[in-house]
Amino acid sequence: MPTSVLWAVDLFGRVYTLSTAGQYWELCKDAQMEFKRVSAATRCCWGIACDNQVYLYVCASDVPIRCREEAYENQRWNPMGGFCEKLLPSDRWPWSDVSGLQHRPLDGVALPSPHWEWESDWYVDENFGGEPTEKGGWTYAIDFPATYTRDSKWNSCVRRRKWIRYRRYKTRDSWAKIPSKDDPKELPDPFNDLSVGGWEITEEPVGRLSVWAVSLQGKVWYREDVSHPNPEGSSWSLMETPREVAQISCGPHDLVWATLWEGQALVREGINRNNPKGSSWSIVEPPGSENGIMQVSVGISVVWAVTKDHKVWFRRGVNSHNPCGTSWIEMVGEMIMVNVGLNDQVWGIGNEDRTVYFRQGVTPSELSGKTWKAIVMSRESDRSYSGSSSSLLSAGCFFGDEVRGSGTESAPSDTDASSEVERRCPEQLLPEESLDNSQNPKGSSSPDPGTGRTSECTMENTCLAEGKGKASEASCLDERSGHTSTPVELPWTNIDLKEPKKVPSNSAAGLPGTTGLSSLGFFPLGMEEPYGADDHPLWAWVSGGGCAVEAGSMLKWFTVQSGLSPSVQMLSLSITPAQTATWRKQIFQQLTERTKRELENFRHYEQAVEQSVWVKTGTLQWWCDWKPHKWVDVRVALEQFTGHDGARDSILFIYYVVHEEKKYLHVFLNEVTVLVPVLNEAKHSFALYTPERTRQRWPVRLAATTEQDMNDWLALLSLSCCESRKVHGRPSPQAIWSVTCKGDIFVSEPSPDLEAREHLLPCDQMFWRQMGGHLRIIEANSRGVVWGIGYDHTAWVYTGGYGGGCFQGLSSSTSNIYPQSDVKSVYIYENQRWNPVTGYTSRGLPTDRYMWSDATGLQECTKASTKPPSLQWAWVSDWYVDFSVPGGTDQEGWQYASDFPASYHGYKTMKDFVRRRCWARKCKLVTSGPWLEVAPIALSDVSIIPESLDTEGREHSIALWAVSDKGDVLCRLGISELNPAGSSWLHVGTDQPFTSVSIGACYQVWAVAKDGSAFYRGSVSPSQPAGDCWYHIPSPPKQKLRQVSVGQTSVYALDENGNLWYRAGITPSYPQGSSWEHVSNNVRRVSVGPLDQVWVIANKVQGSHSLSRGTVCRRTGVQPREPKGQGWDYGIGGGWDHISVRANATMALRNMSWEQEAHGPGPVCC
């Protein structure tokens, strides 16, 4: 799970964040201002500062927020000067928008706010429908508004071209002021409360947000057009309310609740995708008449509230259909506020102690949770304060802290680290005690000692004594380093921070815009003491809207961690201390010595126990693939025996009875090439292939009654197969990786003669073993760097472990196995036919498809009967209408057509007699494997540079290019064998979203854009990892490209119709090549390796017994002078989806001369 942060504001208005993996509260990076409210989303946080203005904090990301501005230059031909800017009086502006209606001179296009900057100057768009115009971007037409063509014709009277300029949002990781709504004619009405949510109202990836705000006068405002590409939104709109509103809360989905000054709650109704602002309010009465609701917070289907007596309430029965819920339930605990974050997790701030509490045990089935648990993390600054005030902070100690905090865990050994911690502990406690002592006399003299909270009283007294309190609002006291309210017994509305007074110079450090390290210098011992109250942070507001805590996951916020217990270690690919610890090394060393001592000279002794045959038996079901074609119960026995050479071999016997005849079949496990789990809705089965059965496309299929039983058999058989082939441990860096359409991951060790010129190993003899985890795409490189992408677009990096998933125990490595999850959607279609009487209804013609069906219409799929794809998957959402289908939809998600099956469009015409809409439902799978998430950017494609096996060039970091799920092209920096996850992304600007990218061995980067054309990136090199510019390469005629793969020199591309194309004419001086040459059809995926070997996943391959879809195939006869090869060699099949041979640079030795030949006079020299 990637880390995310909880936002909070302390009593002084300072904003802090606490990471889910963190150990302390971190001061917000831009801490120039005090805040009274924050409301966080995943990528940003909105807040109200003490000037009552709204501010927006956009978190920095490797991918910039980028917006395209366009303008059109229009010209008309006249006989005198040809095409010129002189247009007819009736024509459009010479510079206009796309419609021609708006005048748009290039220098008139301004940045929307000071928080944006231009990325570059204006330039002409040369790309016209996937092809370069090659004529300065001009496109021609007979007249304005008309169809434009690429070429000028005799009747082309007008032409136009498009100018493009990108702007970027620049104010990131700092607070940007959002212009006030104030109309100069009216009195200013400052903001009082604010809430962000609504990102789940639509599934569209624009990242739309709902921002609701409340002013001091009790008016409700909605910020228009807030989305990821437009983080600031455009304007405030006033929302009518029946009465004056005090506070508001907006959930991630369609819940919006507000509180009224009188203590009732207002619930917004009618919020949906087309109307995120909702339509009406209804009133919900508070739980009791004497104590009205003070504050409310909503999630996806929960509402929590705090009444004026600080009691906490949970609203029962809230959901999209009934946003008001049914009744209040009182919860334990007294809070000043509660906040519902992601996954309906809940945080609160205690009334007595002002501590942030987390509601433990909130799960989808138990939304009210179990208990409040205090978050005891201290602030980053506290740690350094206590260090400095004890005057004993040595550089070493501080360094120790930093290491733990950032999780890099490079402490030299457990011994040293833990002893250091032990030494530190008493010192940290010391100053606290002394401070308490010094406060007690003051506290007892305070006028209100009854609260028993000496620290805050002290604070008050200090302020009053210094005479700096401003009586602007009785409850509001200025304080030297910030502002606070009197913390006890005041309604929330008074947590109101006034304009900060300029701090006296001697407390400049009170603006803690510095990190812990530099604050050390600012805080001399003597100054800190009066503010000892700081030691225990007192909180005013908390927001979990950006904090992803999965139900049931482990958080480390509740105990102060010390030492290096394994649970504290952050997930990181760096070597864990347990592995480097001296004790561990010592045990390995001593065991080796022991074996030497006790066995070396005695090997001729007889063994006490003789090895014997071991048989495991059991009952399974076996698919009888001839009459009667059904699953039959069988007895199976696995016999394992040890040969004289100590090698292990096994035979699997399957005893079956068909037609009352007892028969058996047997399989030598050393002949098995792959064991594939085949999970479906009902059956736990797996398929077993040998080379012969691969050729037949006819595996042995076995099923177990329970998942556990199947996993046991699968693990045992797989282990036996690996043993008989002596394959174990981590796959080699040259390994070939593949993924099935079920997301299962397989890996094969390439033998040297796999890519031999003669006598090559047929690829149906390759042995594949399964690796834990679930992926859609996998890519590898010969230096052992492997990346994968899940169905939910999450990027994963290989950790070097093996096993996981159903491979537990011996078939799994002890370390480097982590939990992994994946999410995908299941789609069904609702079909309707129009009839003249009732319009569209779910009564079709007798010949029609099912009214609820799959995409083809052949299978009936109703909401109730449709199950997740297999028992591994569980539903995690309800059915929702999918609006993002190709072709577009109307407002209710319908697509229209003249008849089934036909092409659908998103609007109704006279001729449309049928319509359909797509329903989606998300399901989730949880497994484990040697994979770690590379957060936070989701990917749709990835490519790692293929490298030859020589050590040349290994000092460079490993080049990796990727395409994000939004189509951004990215280049990963800092990847090495030791840090396969790399450090950061470099964004490579494009004029349109991309879909596929591939980098060749000589840094040739090719990519495919959404319009189906290809692009070549110029000047990419280790010193210029992102290259300089894109060269547009048209796709093959009438084809849209889908994928590209670049090997040593070869460039192959795949189009949407399954055609494989080879790029001809590539030379060092003209790396773009000259033309596409057709190689084959029937291809689903291509992978070109460092030897220019070409492997594909073929759509359909006919075997002697049956047909297989999704088959691994190798191009045969590929040679330097014949890079397109001659034919196909067919390997494992039946549901394969992806292959990467890009790590395999292993060649048989006798072919070395061939390789030199290839690289000497070859087409491209690196």
Partner 1 sequence: MSDDKDVLRDVWFGRIPTCFTLYQDEITEREAEPYYLLLPRVSYLTLVTDKVKKHFQKVMRQEDVSEIWFEYEGTPLKWHYPIGLLFDLLASSSTLPWNITVHFKSFPEKDLLHCPSKDAIEAHFMSCMKEADALKHKSQVINEMQKKDHKQLWMGLQNDRFDQFWAINRKLMEYPPEENGFRYIPFRIYQTTTERPFIQKLFRPVAADGQLHTLGDLLREVCPSAITPEDGEKKNQVMIHGIEPMLETPLQWLSEHLSYPDNFLHISVVPQPTD
Residues in contact with partner 1 by the rule CB under 8 A: 414-415, 418, 554, 559, 561-563, 565-567, 575, 578-579, 581-584, 586-588, 590-595, 597-599, 601-602, 605-609, 611-612, 614, 712, 715-716, 719, 729, 808-810, 813-815
Angle in degrees, CA 111, 113, 115, rounded to 5: 105
Residue 620: count of CB within 10 angstroms of its CB: 20
Tokens for 431?
Answer: 């100053």
Cα–Cα distances (Å) from 440 to 354, 533, 535, 915, in that order, read: 20, 12, 15, 77
What distance in Å separates the CA atoms of residue 417 and residue 408, rounded to the nearest whole number?
Answer: 13
Nearer to partner 1, 291 or 363 (CB): 363
Find the shortest distance in angstroms from Cβ 551 to partner 1: 13
Shortest distance, position 814 Cβ to partner 1, whole Å:
4
Question: Which is nearer to partner 1, 598 or 1028 (by Cβ)?
Answer: 598
Task: Quickly list DSSP for 713-773.
Answer: HHHHHHHHHHHHTT--SSPPTT-EEEEETT--EEEEPPPGGGG-SSSPPPGGG--EEEESS
Residue 586 CB, shortest distance to partner 1, in Å, is 5
If the CB atoms of residues 391 and 567 are measured against partner 1, the closer one turns out to be: 567
- Angle CA 331–336–341, to nearest 5: 70
Q: Are 818 and 931 in contact (CB under 8 A)?
A: yes
- How near is the Cβ of 4 to partner 1 at its closest, in Å? 20
d(CA 102, CA 82): 25
**Beta carbon nearer to partner 1, 1 or 760:** 1
Minimum distance of partner 1 from residue 685's CB (angstroms):
21
CB of 589 to partner 1, least distance (A): 9
DSSP at 87: -
Nearest to 763 by CA among 301, 1141, 1018: 1141
Q: Where are the beta strands (DSSP E) in 448-603?
A: 476-479, 482-485, 539-543
Tell the smallest beta-carbon distance from residue 1124 to partner 1 (Å). Answer: 43
Nearer to partner 1, 912 or 933 (CB): 933
Closest to partner 1 by CB, 122 vs 558, is 558
Q: Which two tokens stand for residue 1082?
A: 């029937």
The answer to whether the CB of 746 falls within 8 A of the CB of 740 is yes
In whole angstroms, the minimum distance from the beta carbon of 612 to partner 1 comes to 6
Work out how close the CB of 588 gets to partner 1 at its nearest, in angstroms, rounded to a whole number: 5
Cα separation, 653 vs 637, whole angstroms: 5
CB of 618 to partner 1, least distance (A): 9
How near is the Cβ of 594 to partner 1 at its closest, in Å?
A: 5
Residue 617's beta-bridge partner residues? 637
From residue 405, how far is each of 25, 220, 548, 676, 1074 by CA, in Å? 11, 41, 20, 43, 54
User: How are strands ordered across the β-sheet holding 630-642?
Assistant: 661-668, 648-658, 630-642, 614-624, 700-704, 684-689, 674-679
Using the minimum distance from each CB to partner 1, give the nearer residue, 608 or 837. 608
We find the least distance from the C-beta atom of residue 808 to partner 1, in angstroms, to be 6
Cβ closest to partner 1, residue 57 vs residue 807: 807
User: Of 526 and 566, which has the nearer Cβ to partner 1?
Assistant: 566
Least separation, in Å, of the C-beta of 956 and partner 1? 25
Q: Are 793 and 745 in contact (CB under 8 A)?
A: no
Give the residue with the Cβ less far from partner 1, 241 or 569: 569
Q: Both ends of the chain: CA-CA distance in Å?
A: 40
Q: What DSSP string runs through 1068-1109?
A: SS-TT-SEEEEEESSEEEEEE-TT--EEEEEEEEE-SS-EEE
Residue closer to partner 1 by CB (options 31, 421) is 421
Beta carbon nearer to partner 1, 446 or 816: 816
Residue 801 Rama label (left phi>0; alpha psi -120 to 50; beta) = beta
- Residue 1001 CA to residue 1091 CA, distance in Å, equals 9
Q: How far is the CB of 964 from partner 1 (least distance, A)?
A: 32
| Residue among 670 and 751 whose Cβ is closer to partner 1 | 670
Measured from the CB atom, the residue of 27 and 570 that comes closer to partner 1 is 570
Q: Minimal distance in Å, beta carbon 565 to partner 1?
A: 5
Structure tokens at 15: 């904003």
Q: Can you tell me the distance from the alpha carbon of 1011 to that of 1051, in angstroms, rounded to the nearest whole number?
A: 19
599 vs 1107 by CB, closer to partner 1: 599
CB of 939 to partner 1, least distance (A): 28
- Which residue, 507 or 561, is less far from partner 1 as judged by CB? 561
Q: Count Cα atoms within 13 angstroms, Cβ side, for 10.
A: 22
Q: Are 714 and 702 in contact (CB under 8 A)?
A: no
Alpha helix stretches (DSSP H) within 164-290? none
* Residue closer to partner 1 (CB basis): 32 or 559: 559
Q: How far is the CB of 905 from partner 1 (least distance, A)?
A: 51
Neighbouring C-alpha atoms within 13 Å toward the C-beta of 156: 18
Q: What DSSP letter does each residue of 615-678 carry, written as one string?
A: EEEEEEEEEE-STT-EEEEEEEEEEEEE-TTS-EEEEEEEEEEETTEEEEEEEEGGG--EEEEE
Question: 821: which 2 tokens?
Answer: 């999850």
- Nearer CB in complex with partner 1: 186/598: 598
CA distance 236 to 221: 6
Q: How far is the CB of 1108 from partner 1 (least distance, A)?
A: 32
